[in-house]
Structures are given as structure tokens and as C-alpha cells.
Structure 1
Amino acid sequence: MQGTSENAPDSTPHASPLTPHARVNLFGLDRAALRAEFEKMGESGYRADQIMLWIYRRGVVDFEQMSNVGKALRARLEAHFVIRPPELVTEQVSTDGTRKWVLRLEEREGRPETMIETVYIPEANRGTLCISSQAGCAMDCSFCSTAQGGFSRNMTTAEIVAQVYFAGKALGGDFQNEKVISNVVFMGMGEPLANYNAVLPAIRILLDDFGFGLSKRRVTVSTSGLVPFIDRLGDDVDTALAISLHAPNDQLRDQLVPINKKYPIAELMDACRRYLAGKDRKAHIVYEYVMLEGVNDQPEHARELAKLLNAAHGGYSAKVNLIPFNPFPNARYTRSKPDVISRFSDILRAKGLLTMTRRTRGDDIDAACGQLVGKVQSKQKKRLGDIPVRVQ
């Protein structure tokens, strides 16, 4: 199946590097693609496994340091490939330990330089890395600073994966310590499923034992609700899914999350049921719900949300993350008061829903949920009609 989209990746992640003057960044090739390239070079596919272990388990990006690879092959690799981490522009560290890195993307096809943001959230027994998949976002959610900043371009697979490598190096370079980066969430800048062809190989590298080796429950893809690509994700890879829901009915969600006009809640819930079908009973979908004062935070909203999710999930569990709104300049909303959030949570729990209120992290450095803006120079707004709608 192939999706059709104006937002297709800027380069095909499986393109052959064996062309003059076109060294391909190996961060962009998953194991199947890298094995295929080695076989084109007349080398055994297992050489790809060796190279991946050097990159993702030992943090080595210099071919000369790959001691179990012959000198002649190292020279050929140097001629055809590059392993290029992103360039750090700025680093900020919050009072709560959260780190935000602004990273510069490569100039592409004469476009101006573009920067994205990656956030690391440390906790006692785990570390969560929030990565971006697009420079900017075209979803136009009214409560999100990233969406209000406009859309520049899709990121390549290499640019997505390189964020994880960069963070591992910045955090001490211990790629074997699962507590340093234990979880990766596609909750940074952009709508991951609108850049599906680049995101899928990135997920495979994150999960691969020869890649970062993360558990399928520790990689989470968040989406505002691109229904055809939720189905495709379920077919292509097993990973955790988060839905940016934010409203219990179509009338309200149309205002907050405009993609709902194309894929209303009933279609979205059907896609969620299909995503869970056949998975073990420990599987669940996380529903993200930003708390906006006087907009979506009343008891009737909580009761309607509980009814919706309980009906949609059957024997599978649904988890709700309540997210206190994080303000940004010229925002039209304010954060729900703590007692209102607590009451909302109590109603959901009484209806049998696993509910957590997300603790705001990194808001003093604009690293909290919905605050990432990077530097999107084009500031163009995509129309909802440009968002991928078909799977062939």
C-alpha cells in the first residue's frame, strides 16, 4: 500500500547511495534497506548489521573506528555513505532537569535553513525523548504553538533518527544504558503520520535489536487523527499509539483539531478499534486531552468522554492523559484550574478509565507540550485539503 500526499518525504529513505557525489546519511536507512545497499555493493548483508551496531549501540560515526570492518570496505563506505548527526544551535536546561535542544536541519533544494526542537525529560527510573518529525505543523490545532507557527517541510528519516543519536551523545554517550533514553515519543514538532514514509523506517530503527533496541511499548506515535495512516501503521509495525483527542464530540473537536472535519470522531474511534484488533490485552491507546478553561473541562465533557472511550474500546483498556494547557504568545485559551482538572479526572476514573494528569515539565524554557516552535522560516499554512487522505 502506498499513501498519496503532497507532504511526501523530500527524499525516498531507501534510495540507492551508489551515485556520484550523493553520499547518503546512514541514519536514513533501516536494516532491510541497508542490507540491500550492501548487497548491491557485492557485500554480505550481515555487514549492515555490523555497521548498525557500531552506530546505534556504540555511538561510532567514523568508519575508520569500526575495527571489525576491513580497510578496503571502510574506504568504499566512506566514498558512498556519511553518518551525519545534526548541528546543535542552542541548548536550554529547565529548573526541573528537562533539556531542550534546537537543532539545525540541512539546507534542501535552495530552501532557507530550518531548525527543529528536541526535548529530553528525565525521571527517576527512565528518560523520555520527545522528537520532531516535521519542521512546523500543518494541522492548525488552535491550542498548539507549533501549529500556529506554520509549516516548512517534512523531515527525512535521517533527520528524525539523528535526533535520538544526538541526544544519546549529549547525555553521556552510554548507548547501552536503557535508563538514559528508555522511551521515545513522536510528540515534538509536526504530525508524524503526515510524514509517514520517513517516520516508518525511523520507527523500525528505534525498535531494531541492531538499532536502538527499544521495546515496542516504549516507542509512541502521536497523531491528531489521520485515519488511513493509523490503519497503515497498525499493518506495518507494532508500536504504542497516542491520539490527540482534546474533545468528546465533533462540534467541539472541529474547533480545536480541524482535521476532525475530515475524519470525525466516529471514524477515528473505528480506526482505534482496528488498531487494537489482534493485539494482546495489555495493549492500550493513550488519549491526550488538553485542559482548556471553560472550553472542554466541564463535568458534562468528562462524562461524554468516558462514554465515548468505554464504548470504543470494549475489552481493551483506554488511558487518558490530561494535559494542563501551556500558554504561548497570543494564545486564545487559559489553563483549567487545578480543582477543575482534579474533578474531571475523578469523573473519568469513576467510569473505569485509567487517567493521569501530566505534570508540566520544561515550561520555563518553552519545552512543554504544545510549546515547540523551532525556526520555521517559510511560515506557510497548508490547507487541510493537502493532508493525505487515501491509501492505495
Structure 2
Amino acid sequence: MTTDTTAADAVAREDAAVSDAQANAVSDDGIEKLPLQASDTAARAAVAADHGKRDLVGLSREELGAAMAELGEKPFRVKQVWQWIYNKGVTDFDSMTNLSKPLREKLDAHFVIRRPSLPVEQTSEDGTRKWLMRFADGKEAETVYIPDVDEPRGSVCISSQVGCTLTCKFCHTGTQLLVRNLSAAEIVSQFMVARDSYGEWPSPTDESRRLSNIVMMGMGEPLYNYDNVVKALKILVDGDGIALSRRRITLSTSGVVPEMYRLGNDINVNLAVSLHAATDEIRNRIMPINKKYPLAELMKACREYPNVSNARRITFEYVMLKDVNDSDADARALAKLVEGIPCKFNLIPFNPWPGSQFECSSWNRIRKFSDLLYDLGFSAPIRMPRGRDILAACGQLKSESERERKSLMKARLAAGIPDEH
């Protein structure tokens, strides 16, 4: 058998395996059904890479207290170490100058303060910045800083999974099957890397923050990684560290109804719901999760979300898809659907990505849709696309490194070079 034939067969087998995985990986409701690689597998890999040392990033205050107690240290050390990590942003123990040298050496012998590596960092022509984060086990996710148009501040868009649990038809991330959940450390460290990139340490006050907000709207469905996401958010709002207000954090869900009730009671950050349709018929087609949690159940959970009021409204995100969900009738149906819920709409022009089957509604159509919702009593601003030139806009995030590695493997095989795994 020739080398060319062998290479072609290998590639064909791989392509077939990928196709089979895509075909069998999700249930009819669009939710990932393959066994989930637990995020603690990544933690174990990281510990092995650091010669048995434990990462302090991502530990709760209680866990950090237990770790200090194991070293024979008094409880007041917890606040000191916490502030060095999350308020000062240090990455080595020698910088913790109010700790004795023997204690710093003890900490260094048992622990690390880890950051993801950054294979790629891109800045868009509009100022949007995107980082590809590579974690200790080699898996990757993307994080984006989105500057405000009118103020010298902006939001950090954070991922909760490598890939995504769902298969929303208009979303690029949904074409990348779920690999695993991110740990609390990996979620928190995304914001810390953004802080590193802009030199925003120590933690500034709310008035002077450039990285002023967090939106859990990156890769993945946050509520399908509930425990890690809530643990990370509690670290991010802790007043001795990063100290973001809960009102500066927005979590976006596609509608995981049971966890929405838990979220409101456990952390009560701002809620955004990826709605994108006013009827079950359309939403079933473009967001298969609707088959599991239909609109009636979703709207009930929104009405009962704690502390929802005109001063703290739910945001309904709505991507504008030409001839799918953008008619005047759709706008009227939306208004009827959310009746009685303190809310606003965020209209999102569809951001194209390679292979997408949808088109964006025309600008005139989007404006008319927005105006009609306004006439019906709802705020419905149009989100200006940011970072399209680096695939950093809403719905465009995906770990391109997986595809690039596959292409490199094909090239190696075609050249007769064995795969290096």
C-alpha cells in the first residue's frame, strides 16, 4: 500500500469518526449526551504538571483556610494571601512582602498561582481584544474584552466550557462539541489574564475600572456547569479581592430552567436569557433546548427570578435572523410573550461565521423591529457588532486550535510523517 493511500485512509477514518461523533453526540433536545470529562481531570493534570503543587486560584475562602491550617498557619493568613492573589494580582510568593520568608518558602513548596498560557492574543480594529486560553491539560477556550462605545471601560466575556453543551443552530460555538466543563480556577483566571493584559492591578475602585463588568456569555452554557460557575462568581465578588459588584455581572443562559431558580437564590447576579424566538415552533428549530424547557416554563422562571424589578430587569437577547424571526408579527408575539416581566431586549445582528446557514436581517428591518418593540413599551437597543474581524463577536467564539491541529495532522500524514499525538 502506498503512503498516499495510507494517509488518505487515515484521514477518511478520522473524518468518519468526527461525523459519527457529531451525529450521535446530542439528543433530540440539542443537549450534549456524551459522557462529560469532569473538570477535576484537568485539575489533576495541572497538579501533575506542577510536581504535585496545588493551585491556589479557584479555592474558596473556606478551602484556602483549610489549606493554611494544614500548614499550621493562623486564620488571619487567609485574608493576606487572598488579597495578594486577587487584589494585587501577584503570581509568585516572593511578592507577598508582608509574609515572612519562611512562610513564603513554605507556600512555594506546596502551592502555585497559575495562569493559563496564551497561544494567541488578538486586538480588533474596534478595540475588542480576544485571548485564546490554553489550560494545563492542553484544552482551550476563548475570552473577549468588549470596550464600551461611550466610556473608557468595558466587559470581559468569559467562557464556562470548552466547546458547548448545546447545539444552537446560529452559534459557531455550538458546532464545537463539548469537551469538558471549566473549573472554578479556569473561569476566574480568564478575568485575571484580562487584568494582566491591561495592567489593571491592584484592583481599582468601580469608578476607575477599565475592566468594569463580567458577562458569562462566552463558550458554553454556564448553567450546565453550575457549581464551578457559582463558585467562581463568589470569588469574583469577594470584597477583599477582585471585588466586582453583583450588579456588574451578567450571566446568560439559553434557558436551563431548574438552575435559573438556584442561581437567583445562590448568587443573584443579573440574568440574561438567550431567547431568539417568540414561539416554540421557531425556537425548537433554532434552539433545540426549547424541546426540554419550552417557552411557558422559561417565562415562568423569569417571572420568579429574585429581585427582578424595573430597576433590575432581565435582558432578553435576540439574534436577528433574516426571514426566520424578524417579522413585525414576531415583534408583537415577543411583546405578548414577556408581558408582566420587567425586561428589556438586546437585538443582536447575526454575526456570520464559516459554514453558517443563516443571514443577518437587513439594517432597516432591525431598526423597524426595534422601533416596533419600543412602541409596544419595551427598550430594545441594537447591539453594535464588535470584534467581527477577529471572530470575537457574539456567537463567533470557537477554539480554532482544534481545527488547526487536525489540518496539520492531515498535512503530516500526506507527507508520510507519522502523527506525533
Per the normalisation by structure 1, the TM-score is 0.87
Report the Cα offset of residue 29 of structure 1: 0.9
CA contact 1:150–1:376 (8 Å) conserved in 2? no
More strand per residue: 1
Which of 359, 378, 382 is 1:353 aligned to? 378
Q: Distance in 1 between matches of 2:133 and 2:71?
A: 33
Cross-structure match for 1:35: 65
CA contact 1:168–1:180 (8 Å) conserved in 2? no
- Matched to 1:359, the amino acid is M
Residues 1:14 and 1:152: Cα distance change in structure 2 (over 3 Å): closer
Which of 334, 338, 350 is 1:325 aligned to? 350
Residues 262-341 of structure 1 mapped to structure 2, 5 A cutoff: 262-276=292-306, 278=307, 281-311=310-340, 313=341, 317-341=342-366
Report the Cα offset of residue 232 of structure 1: 1.1
Q: Distance in 2 between matches of 1:127 and 1:164?
A: 12
Q: Secondary structure at the match of 2:296?
A: helix
Residues 82-97 of structure 1 mapped to structure 2, 5 A cutoff: 82-97=112-127
Report the Cα offset of residue 239 of structure 1: 0.6
Q: Deviations over 1:237-278 (max 9, x none)?
A: 1211111110011111111111111011111111112213x4
Long gaps (5+) in structure 2 = 1-33, 405-421
- Matched to 1:247, the amino acid is A
Q: Distance in 2 between matches of 1:287 and 1:296?
A: 14
Q: Larger RCO: Structure 1 or Structure 2 (Cα < 8 Å, ≥ 6 residues apart)?
A: 1
Cross-structure match for 2:396: 371
Long gaps (5+) in structure 1 = 108-112, 380-392
Percent identity over the alignment?
Answer: 46
CA contact 1:133–1:188 (8 Å) conserved in 2? yes
Cross-structure match for 1:110: none
- Matched to 1:365, the amino acid is I
Report the Cα offset of residue 39 of structure 1: 3.0
CA contact 2:157–2:218 (8 Å) conserved in 1? yes
Q: Secondary structure at the match of 1:139?
A: coil
Residues 1:7 and 1:305: Cα distance change in structure 2 (over 3 Å): farther
Residues 1:273 and 1:9: Cα distance change in structure 2 (over 3 Å): farther
Of structures 1 and 2, the larger Rg is shown by: 2
Which of 117, 120, 127 is 2:145 aligned to? 120
Residues 1:8 and 1:225: Cα distance change in structure 2 (over 3 Å): farther
CA contact 2:93–2:108 (8 Å) conserved in 1? yes
Residues 1:359 and 1:206: Cα distance change in structure 2 (over 3 Å): same
CA contact 2:132–2:143 (8 Å) conserved in 1? yes
- Matched to 1:288, the amino acid is E
Q: Distance in 2 between matches of 1:52 and 1:7?
A: 31
Report the Cα offset of residue 351 of structure 1: 1.5
CA contact 1:103–1:116 (8 Å) conserved in 2? yes
Q: Distance in 1 between matches of 2:273 and 2:318?
A: 9
Per the normalisation by structure 2, the TM-score is 0.81
Report the Cα offset of residue 374 of structure 1: 1.3
Residues 1:101 and 1:18: Cα distance change in structure 2 (over 3 Å): closer
Q: Distance in 2 between matches of 1:153 and 1:8?
A: 5
Report the Cα offset of residue 30 of structure 1: 2.3
| Aligned: 1:255 with 2:255 | no
| Aligned: 1:228 with 2:255 | no
Cross-structure match for 1:167: 194
Q: Distance in 2 between matches of 1:92 and 1:352?
A: 40
| Aligned: 1:205 with 2:235 | yes
Q: Deviations over 1:166-197 (max 9, x none)?
A: 11011124343343210011111111111112
Cross-structure match for 2:7: none
Q: Distance in 1 between matches of 2:132 and 2:41?
A: 25
Report the Cα offset of residue 68 of structure 1: 1.1
- Matched to 2:182, the amino acid is M
| Alignment root-mean-square deviation, CA | 2.5
Cross-structure match for 1:181: 211
Residues 214-225 of structure 1 mapped to structure 2, 5 A cutoff: 214-225=244-255
Aligned length: 364
Report the Cα offset of residue 21 of structure 1: 5.1
Report the Cα offset of residue 131 of structure 1: 1.0
